[in-house]
Every structure is written in structure tokens, then in C-alpha cells.
Amino acid sequence: MSTSLSTSITPKHTYLDRDLSLLAFNQRVLAWAKREDVPLVERLRYLCIASSNLDELFEVRAFLHLEAYQTQDTKGSYSVNSFEALHKRAHALVAEQYDLFNNALTVSFAKEGISIVAHGERDAAQRRWVQKYFEEEVRPLLVPVLLDPAHPFPQVASKSLNFIVQLGGVDAFDRKNTIAIVKVPRVLPRVIALPAKLCGKKQLFISLSSVVRAHLSDLFPGRAVGQFSQFRVTRHTDMAIDEDDVKNLRMALRQGLQHRHYGQPTRIEVSASCSAELSAMLLKQFDLPEIALYRVPGPVNLVRFAQLADLVEKPSLHFAPYTPSYPASMQQQVRGLSIFDRLKQGDAMLHQPYESFDAVVDFLREAVYDPKVLAIRQTIYRAGADSVMMDLLVEAVRRGKEVLAVVELKARFDEEANINWAERLEAIGAQVVYGVVGLKTHAKMLLVTRKEGKQLRRYGHLSTGNYNPRTARLYTDISYFTQDAHLTEDMEQLFVHLASQNHVPKMKKLWIAPFQLHREMIAHIDALAAKAAKGKSTRLIAKMNSLTDEPIMDALVRAGQAGVKIDLIVRGACMLPAQVAGQTDNIRVRSIIGRFLEHSRVFYFRSGEDEELYLSSADWMNRNMLRRIELAWPVTDPVLRQRIVEECLSAYLYDKVDAWDMQPDGSYTAMHDPATGHSAQQALMQRYQKKT
């Protein structure tokens, strides 16, 4: 099995297209929905994830291609060609998604006695129930709009469900206006379970779109309903705020959120049966070319069918529950001993989600309730709307601790939650800052200052992931606890910088973006290249989410050509082609798609017997290196370093179940041999599963 980017590699090394690489990643996610060794409900979830990823691409990335198309740019990175290539690949992916949904997943669900019942398949009793549901739950929320000069085309929100309807006859004023729009509110569930008494021994569902479709005529009494189609518009939703020109970033973002769902249209989805007349009208209304129209043989929003996965009651169709163990290195905390005393013995780590994120929460909780703790400082990027850690920070303020929260207001799609937390913390007296103008604060760190005798001692937590207990059960990340005086002093200086914007002093151990992180990464790669050129044995292994930074890719090409053996484990977009003869022969690229989302960033450099390992909040992307506050820190404890190498790097390089290897043309080939192969994630789950 392989997925190709259809990108030619020229003799002079050429990097792959970033957005086509993102679509190739999405194809790898979709492959999980096809795997028969994956439980059926989880296959549906992967289909929904693939659909959601595609939505995000059209919300965030597609606008640049569209803008180039509209201006007929043929030379830039974004051009007419890139626009057409993006949509060509996206159309193929969408066709694959619906083929899987209609001809594989729904068929398999039906064999399990689980079905989505279309209007034509409902018996009389089911139709009566649907009619009642429509009248009581749906119709009161629908306001059809008949288009005329006084009723222009209504604003429709990004990704919302709508219907366009062609009507016969005349309206109440004897006019032959023929087009109406029906907006379906988002508050309504997209999948509805039929009562058990109407299902026999099966579990039956109906889709909201079929409920509305079956009762369109009820919305237009006295008019004949002719051609109609459901439709969905995806819009550009990335908010552009001129931070240099606003007095209050929080207020500007809150106002911007009100308009986010009504940005520039980038894609239209309609029913496969939508008439040429109606689709042409929609394209004209939203000022999009024909290629941006997607005719789909099913519901226009597969993402919302994740609701069906939540409603299916058969445990055998779900992943077996996984309960992570509490980190062995933190067991003193479980036995009631102080976590601070534990850290005096040396650094500790947990590998989530295999080990429980509860240890991080416990670290903060102990700091909040310990009378010796004077100050707590934390960065907040994606904490979530309902967060026990944010509640603990609130409690810390109430208990008189000095709390500094560096809240990143521009964390995409988490802006509102972060604004709410910032306002709540400010209201009770916490010191809240929003980082540095023009830069996102993506670094993940938590610093506790404790009075011990006559001394102040610091304890730190650094992470490759977010302070979000929910995603900590789904994403692979490394949480690192330390009482190292140099590391915690560096953390203190970075917090001071974020609050005061004073110059950053020379760091002892941390690498910080946008200051030295980019330079240090390239310098370390070049240092390996220099040693390899002298015949020394060298090795570089890097694990990240995306690789798109050209200066780093240039350095990797130089290092590979000098003889450095390079393995890159890149989950998502990777623009560096692997194993191209004469160019990147020594570079291998792997992508791991598994039950959990690979999210940890690990960078390993070895020359002879000398080795260095860094953990980081940053991917090797230009935005992370130059437009964000990021950090990387060394792991100097040899036991912890070896554990990270084994669990985060070596295990993935030998994976033959969930791995995809990049080919010289930029395509990916699945290394899927469940009979004899090794799955890194499965092995780690077995190692750290809580013993009951």
C-alpha cells in the first residue's frame, strides 16, 4: 500500500509540497479506517478524524492557494498550479472517504445489527416517530428564507449544515420566487438514536439531514418542492490580528471570534444529486471556481458521525479500555511522600499516555496546598474549557500564592477557552500576561518556588505537550520533572522575559526560540556532518510532528551527504524527500500512525561514544523556530536518556505494524505485518498497562 505526492525530485535537491504532504498524512490516517484488524467503531472514528483534518486544511491552508488562483499567480509558492493540485488530491481523498463509508463501514455495521435508516427504509411506526421528532425538536428551530431583493442570501457559518431548495408555485404575494435557503442549527445532534421499541434486536439511528430532507415540504406549505440539496461551506477561519495596532489583545481576539465562522469561502460540499443550476448558483454566491465544488454521495459532514461512534453500545466494536499506570519513578507520591523530596534525588519523567498524566496534576496540586510554596508560574497553550489544572491555579491564588499565568490567546481553535481562563484568573488577582507581541508562546513549562529553611528552591516541569488531561490520554508526549538548578534558573529567566520583555540572559541549559533554538539545532547537525566527513561514526535520530523548515532541511542534506546516518520519525507533513540517489541516500523518513497521536519531539545526536538528547516543544518548522516562544532542554541523566531512546526512537524504527516509510518520490509505503511485526505503541501499552 502506498500514497504518492506525485512530486518529481530533480537532480538538485527539491523539497516536497507542504500541503500535498499534509494530504498524504491524511491518507495514512484514512488507512486506519480501512484496517480490518481495527475495531469497527474505531475505524469510523479514523474516518471522522481524516475528514476533520481535511476540514482544517481548508480552514487554515487553502486560502493562500485560492488567493493565488484568483490573481492568476503562476510563479509563487502558491499558484494556479498549487490550487489545482491541492483540489485534485482532495477530491480523490474525499471520494475514497465516501466509498469507504458507504460500501465498507455501513455494510459492516449492518452485519452487527447497527444501521442508519434512510427515509425510504423506515416502516410506518418509525416514520411517525421521525415526524413527531421533526415537529417537536427540529422545526421550531428552522426559519426558511425565500430569496428576493428584501431577503438576500443569508450568512451561513463555516461547516454548518444547510439546504438549498427550488420551489414551484407562488408565494403569499403571488410572486414566483423559486429559491429558498434552510439553515440547520448546530445545537441539533447530527445522529439520533431511534427508541429501542422501534428497533427490534438492532440498534438503529437516523441522520438529522435525512429528517430535514424528508420534511422539507412541511416548511413550505402550498409550494411544490422541486430540486434541492444539502450544502456546507468551509471558510478561512485563521484570525489575523495586527497585534501592533491593538491596545488590548484579549478584547480584539474576543471580537474577532464573533466573525471567525464567516471568513472567505474556500470549499463547497453538496449532495451528489445536486442539480447543475443549484450548484452553479452556490458557486456564484460564494465566488468559487468549479473545482472547489465537492459532490458527495452521503452526508456533507462526515466529522459529525463521530457521534454515532459514541452511541454504539457494543464493547467488542471499540478499542479495549486502556488504563495507564502511575509513573514508577513517582511512586513516592502515591505513598504519601513529598514529590519535592523525590525530585531532590534526581530528575523524573513520564511517558504519556502510557503512564498517567495524574502525576503532573499531583505535582501542581501538592504545590498549591503546600504552605512552603510561595510562587507558581505556568504557560497555558491548550488547557481545554474544563481543566483541573486551571482550577488548581485558581485555588493557588485563593491560598495566597503568587501565580503568574502566561496565557497564549492565539492558540488556534482554543482562543475562547484561553480568554475565559485568563479573565477568571485575572478576576481573582493572578498575574496574567499574554507572552510577546507577534510571537505565540508555545513552550510548555511549570515552575514552583518553595521556601526550604532559609533558601528558595525551584522545581520545574517541562513538556513536549499541553497541560490538558484529556488530550494527555490520546497524545504521546514526554513530561519531565526536574530540580536541576541550571534548568530551573533558565525557566525562571524565561518567565521573567515573557512578563517584562527584558533581554533574555545567556541560558545555561535551555535553548529558546526565536533566540538560539534554530541556530543550535543547525549547529548540532553541522557538527555531526563535520565529524562524519573525518570518518567518525555519527548518528542523528529526530522525532517530531512536522518537518518544513528549509535551513534545517539544508543542514540535514549536508549531513547526510557527509556520511551521517539520519532517521527522521515525522508523523505529519515532511518536505524532505528520503533516499534520493546522490542526494539523501543516508536519510530515512518514517511516519507512525497508531491508536494514539504521536506528539513528542525528541532529538538525538551521537558522534562515536558521545551522545546528546534534547526534548522540545518545537517541531522543525519555520514558524516554531522564528515566530514562537519555544524551548528545548537536554536530558543528561543517562538512565532517563536511554529510556527515551528505547521508547521514543528505537521502538519506532523497528515498528512493522503502524509505520509508513517514505520512498524517493515522496510517496509512503505501509510497513504493516501484524502477524510477525512489532507495534511500538502496543508494546508500550503492554509495558505500562495498570495492573488490576
Q: How confident is the model at residue 174 (pLDDT cuts 50, 70, 90)?
A: confident
End position of a domain, from candidates 264, 287, 317: 317
- Report how far residue 654's alpha carbon sits from residue 671's, in angstroms, rounded to the nearest whole number: 10
- Pick 164 or 261 by higher pLDDT: 164
Do residues 162 and 264 both lie within one domain? yes
CB-side exposure of 629: number of CA atoms within 13 Å?
27
pLDDT of residue 5 exceeding 50: no
Do residues 419 and 543 both lie within one domain? no
Residues 6+ apart with CB under 8 A from 553: 15, 547, 575, 576, 620
**Cis, bond preceding 514 (omega within 30 deg of 0):** yes
End position of a domain, from candidates 507, 537, 552: 507
Predicted confidence (pLDDT) per residue in 450-490, tens digit: 999 999 999 999 999 988 888 999 999 999 999 999 999 99
Number of structural domains found in the chain: 3
Please count the other Cβ atoms lying within 10 Å of the Cβ belonging to residue 155.
9
Q: Within a domain: residue 58?
A: yes
pLDDT recorded at residue 135: 96
Which of 65, 87, 442, 599 is flagged as catalytic? 442
Contact 615, 462 (CB under 8 A): yes
- Report how far residue 621's alpha carbon sits from residue 630's, in angstroms, rounded to the nearest whole number: 11
Whether 442 is a known active-site residue: answer yes
pLDDT recorded at residue 246: 42
Position 471, amino acid = T
Do residues 40 and 184 both lie within one domain? yes
Do residues 404 and 536 both lie within one domain? no
- Report how far residue 648's alpha carbon sits from residue 161's, in angstroms, rounded to the nearest whole number: 42
Q: Within a domain: residue 322?
A: no
Q: Within a domain: residue 649?
A: yes
* DSSP code, position 647: I
Q: Which domain holds residue 619?
A: 513-688
Do residues 85 and 226 both lie within one domain? yes
Do residues 220 and 353 both lie within one domain? no
CA nearest neighbour of 219 among 268, 164, 153, 174: 164
Predicted confidence (pLDDT) per residue in 286-321, tens digit: 999 999 999 999 999 999 999 999 999 899 999 999
- Report how far residue 244's alpha carbon sits from residue 54's, in angstroms, rounded to the nearest whole number: 32
- Pick 149 or 58 by higher pLDDT: 58
Domain at 582, CATH number? 3.30.870.10
pLDDT of residue 413 exceeding 80: no
- Report how far residue 400's alpha carbon sits from residue 395's, in angstroms, rounded to the nearest whole number: 9
Do residues 311 and 396 both lie within one domain? no
pLDDT recorded at residue 366: 95
- Pick 414 or 163 by higher pLDDT: 163
pLDDT of residue 333 exceeding 70: no
pLDDT recorded at residue 389: 84
Domain at 105, CATH number? 3.30.1840.10
**Cis, bond preceding 353 (omega within 30 deg of 0):** yes
Instruction: Specify which residues 235 forms β-bridges with.
Output: 265
Q: Within a domain: residue 65?
A: yes
- Report how far residue 241's alpha carbon sits from residue 244's, in angstroms, rounded to the nearest whole number: 9
Do residues 278 and 393 both lie within one domain? no
Q: How confident is the model at residue 9 (pLDDT cuts 50, 70, 90)?
A: very low
Residue tagged 481562563 (cell numbers): 421
Q: Within a domain: residue 323?
A: no
Task: Supply 648's cell numbers.
Answer: 521514543
Q: Is the pTM of this model over 0.85?
A: yes
Q: Within a domain: residue 157?
A: yes
Do residues 309 and 385 both lie within one domain? no
- Of the chain, the percentage scoring pLDDT greater than 70 comes to 92
Average pLDDT over the chain, rounded to an integer: 90
Q: Within a domain: residue 614?
A: yes
Using N-to-C axis directions, what is the helix angle for 249-257 and 415-427, rounded to 10°? 140
Do residues 595 and 523 both lie within one domain? yes
Do residues 674 and 569 both lie within one domain? yes
Predicted confidence (pLDDT) per residue in 568-618, tens digit: 999 999 999 999 999 999 999 999 999 999 999 999 999 999 999 999 999
Do residues 207 and 256 both lie within one domain? yes
- Average pLDDT for 20-41: 96
CB-side exposure of 68: number of CA atoms within 13 Å?
18
End position of a domain, from candidates 284, 317, 350: 317
